[in-house]
Structure formats: C-alpha cells, structure tokens
Structure 1
Amino acid sequence: MSITIKDVAKQANVSVATVSRILNNLPGYSNETQERVEKVIKELGYQPNEVARGLINRKTKTIGVILPNVSDLFAGEILAGIEEQAYASNYSVMICKTNYDNKRKIKYLQTLYEKRVDGIIIISERITQDFYKAIEMIKIPVVLVATQSDYPLPFIKVNDYQASYDATTYLVKKGHSRIGMIAGSEGDIISTIPRVKGFREALNDAKITFTNEMITYGDFSFESGIDEMNNLLKSYPEVTAIFCASDEMAVGALSFLYKKGIKVPDSISIIGYDNTATAERAIPPLTTVAQPLKEMGKASIHLLLDSSVKIDQIYPHHIAERDTVRSYSE
C-alpha cells in the first residue's frame, strides 16, 4: 500500500494542509515543523503526486517542445540543452514532431494545452498567422529557438544573414573567387532567404558577380547535399569553394566528392553551417559556421521560467576552422 500525504500528516502530528504547504514551498509553518515533516517524509519514503501538486500550484512542471524533426543533429543539439536545463530546474519535457505540417503544429499545440504544460518551446518552425492565433488562444508562455516571427514572441537565434555573410567572406579572404552555395529549402523565410542574402551581398562587396548558376537548393539533409553537389558541379564546374547552409548538406557534398575522386580541400573547399557533432566527425573534419545550439536550448528554459531574462536574444556565431578549406591567399 502506497504512503499518502495523510500518513505523513498523522505521523508528523500536523494537518494535511501544513504538509501540502511545506511540499509546495508556501509560508505558514515554523522551521521546527518543516524539519519534522521532512524527516517523516524521508522515513516513510513518501513520493508526492506531481499531478496533485500541479492542481494546487497550477503547475505541472512540464514543458512542451514543438519542432519539425527530431532525427537531425541540429535539433538534437538544441534538445540536449533544453532537456539538461529542464532537468536541472526540476521540469520534464514533452517533444512533438510536426514534420513541417502546419495542421499538425496546431494540433500539437492543443494537445500540449490539454496536458497543462507550463510553457512551450518552438524550434525552427515558421509562425504562420493561424499558428500564432492558436498560440494566443491557449495563453501559455512560448519561446522560439532558431527562428523568429513578425509576431511578439520571444526568440533565441543567431543572425543568419550575418553568419552567411561571414562564411562567404571567410572564403573570399582565403583567396577564392569562384564560390558556390548549396542553400536550404527554396523560399524558406526562416533560414534560406537570409542566408542566401548574406551569401550574395558578401560576393557583391567582394566585387564578385553573382549568377544563378552559383547556387542550388536542397532541404538541409545529407541526401540533398549529395544531389545538389552534383547539380552545382554541372551548373558551375569552375567552382573552387562551396558554402553549404547546413553541416548535413556539407557532409553529403563531401561524400559525393569523395566518390568522384575530387579531393577536399585540394580541388574544392567546403564550409558548413551549425557546427554539429557531424562536422567534427567528417572526413576531413569540416570547417563550419558555429552556432551555440546547446547553449541556445538551455537559454530557452531560462527565458520561459524567468521573466527578468532579456526577451529577444541574438547569439554569437563564429567560424570553426578545421580541414576543408584551402587558402590561396597565404
């Protein structure tokens, strides 16, 4: 038979209400009473019912996470930070994968509302008008990670335009002038459009003429990196350096070039984006734009739980130099 709060109250010679206040860190008891109750809890091995406590506190100590995909390393890094900080804050996490389906996003939002989560983190999703209206209706705190919107929602991300500009400029400074780009999903306003803009403007500032043949579009995946590397070599065979809009695509490009006997970086240089674990494990190890993904995940928990934290946060990026970019300028 399981130990109940009534058993604790009886043995500690206090009321059930006093035990409840102690469990929920509410005032109304002496230090001596608190010590006695906590001693009894330990002796009896009482485990508070979190659901019941949630009804009292209106807190379930649960955070929902909505994201397009859980299988890629980009999402995995952010989730690792979220889970680690949530655990440290005595919260649990529920994960909902949308597969880029807007109806699914709204359905999961309703599910999380029904589960009485205390907050929701949305990773790398586009906030449509319908989705935002649904967020407004449930009145649960929401934080965006690796995305932002025109709606008043707090966010944590890097400056994708500037990061892309810096990656392209890095290649220019290494002496490359025939630079191509394997971009993400065409028309994606969250990541693709600002990264393409940064790429084009960096070329323009370096007095390098941009042509449509210099860019192809994938979907951020390893497989699309293979396909688009093939397409880019056909459209722009003179290319000597390529900026890939994700590490997954960059490693796909490396795989394709390896199978074709094209050496990296001797013949073609590659720079990726994200600095996931796959960048370090690639052969050769991948030079990439580093986002502090795990730290961004941790920060999203702080932003949800602490109202004093700055609302909109642009995190720093840097170039993580490894072995896939050849210099012609040294």
Structure 2
Amino acid sequence: MNNESNPTMHPSCMEKPPLAMDIILKLDIFGIILYSALTFMAAVSMLVYLEECVYIYKHVPNNKKSVIIWVNGAAPVIATMSCLGMWIPRATMFTDMTSACYFAVVVFKFLILMVEEVGGDEAFLRRAGKHKLKISTGPCCCCCLCLPFVAITRRTLFLLKLGSFQFAVLKIVFTILSIVLYTNGTFDLSDLSIYGAAIWINPFVGILTIIALWPVAIMFMHLRVTLRSIKIIPKYAMYQLVLVLSQLQTAIINILALNGTIACSPPFSAPARGYMMSQQLLILEMFIITLVTRLLYRRQYDPLPQEEESDNTSLKQAVLSESESP
C-alpha cells in the first residue's frame, strides 16, 4: 500500500542505515570536507582532553583528580562516540548509549566535585552545619516553594549522593538490558507501541535522570556563593549544556525524524538521517564545550580559605539563606 501511494520513494528510504563503506563511496566534495572537518574536531577534542588529564595528574590534589578527569571527559567522549556513529550509522544506538552511560556517571561525579572543592565531606559538614538546604529547586520541585528547608547532616549528604549515584548504576543496567533485548529483536527505538520495550524503558530512565539531577541542583544552589572564586557557575552551565545538547536536542531531532518532519535523503532513511544530523551537531558542539571546559578547569587548585577567614562569604550565605526562607 505504501509503495502504491509513494511510487517515487527511493528504496533506501525504507531500508536500514547504510554501511560505512557505502557512505564513503557516495561522499561528494562537500561530504568529504564535512566529514573530514568533523572527524578532525573529534580528534582534537580527545587530544585536548588527554593533555588536560596530564595537567590534572601533575597539578591537582589526589582527592580531586578522579572527579575532575571524569567531568572533563563528558564533552570529548560524546564527541568521539558521535564521530563513530557518524561514520558507522548502524552503530548509532550503541554509541549514544555509551555516551549516555558516561554522562550518567558524570552527573554523580559533578556532585562529588562540588563537595571536594569545599574540602571533602567533613569540611562540607563543618562549613554548612549552621545553614539549611533549599530543596525547592529544579528539575523536580522548582514550583513547590512551600517545601521546608532541610538541615545539613551526614544523613542528608548521603541521601544527596545516593540520589545521583542510583542513576549512574541503573542507567548502565538498563543500557545492558536494552542491548540484550535489541539482539532478541524486542528493543527498537522506532517502535512506540505498547508492546515495545523502548516505550517502557526510556520513560523510566527519564524519571531516573530527573531524580539524579535534583541533588546536583540542590548542592549547586547551596555552594554557588562559596565556590564562586573557582568559577563554579560557568562550570555548572557547561555541565547543564552538555546535558541539554546530548539528551534533549538528540531526542527532539530523533522524534522529528520518526514523525517524517526530517525527509529521507538516500542512502539515509528519515530516522537514519535524523540520527546523522544529531551526531554531526554534537561533534561541533562538544568540540566548543571541550575548549571552554579546558579554560575553566586549568587553574591552580589551592584550598579554599577557612570559614572564619572568609567572613564576607559566610555573611553572604547567611543573608541568602534568610532571604530565601519562607
């Protein structure tokens, strides 16, 4: 029926994504320049990241090395995975899942990074013991202004860490489950029927993502004044930008492709072309974010002054807490 109503549709519009060799053989001059430039950007992103790892290993205290390397690697890893997905379109689902799993760990590591920048768990509890946490923040409860402020205790800190850590673990678990179901022909991103596994797994992972982002936002809102000297606000902005571009932007493009808004362009079907556009945009965006992130994290890692030595900062936090209290 589809063939009769669309007699001029190219056969490749109904097929699987092309093989890597098919793409190479059909590249024109513009395609060669585009693919070469994007591959160069992905390679430079990874080289910049490796150079940054060497700097971090030599100049950063031991308690911060691991978390900073993890957080710095978000953009280069996504750019590299997107480059592989661009050259090998049939592997796009797996490259996207790899990027998503890495970023799930980065969400937890960014929370740990903010705590370590203060001096670790004990230093954080000493500094923040007299203050309270505002939990009416995004993405969960930004509209629930009636929520009470929460005392900062060891148990509160543990719950905040647990809220982000669950995503790092469960995202990997659900990714492995998706791959297993894919090999059985059960998991298909384009299958949105009630009987498809994707319609059940993806929304649940989305809920886990929102839950994991909430503790990070709570911690950032509490420490944004204390850590302003180490540029925590632009660092948090870069972290959020990676999240939006790698998750929300990709989802929007893929939905448009599945709905037919993005047209088929042989040898790519509409969904495959949507995935391809997403990969190419991510390479460019992550390349820029990698360069900006390098500037933000390449600094002298001196310890923060003790709270009694920074009366102005403490006063600002106290005034801020009192003004935000109901």
Alignment TM class, shorter chain as reference: under 0.3
In the superposition, the TM-score normalised over structure 1's length comes to 0.25
Name the one with the larger strand percent.
1
**Larger helix proportion of the pair:** 2
Give the TM-score normalised by structure 2.
Answer: 0.25
Greater relative CO, 1 or 2 (CA 8 Å, sep 6+): 2
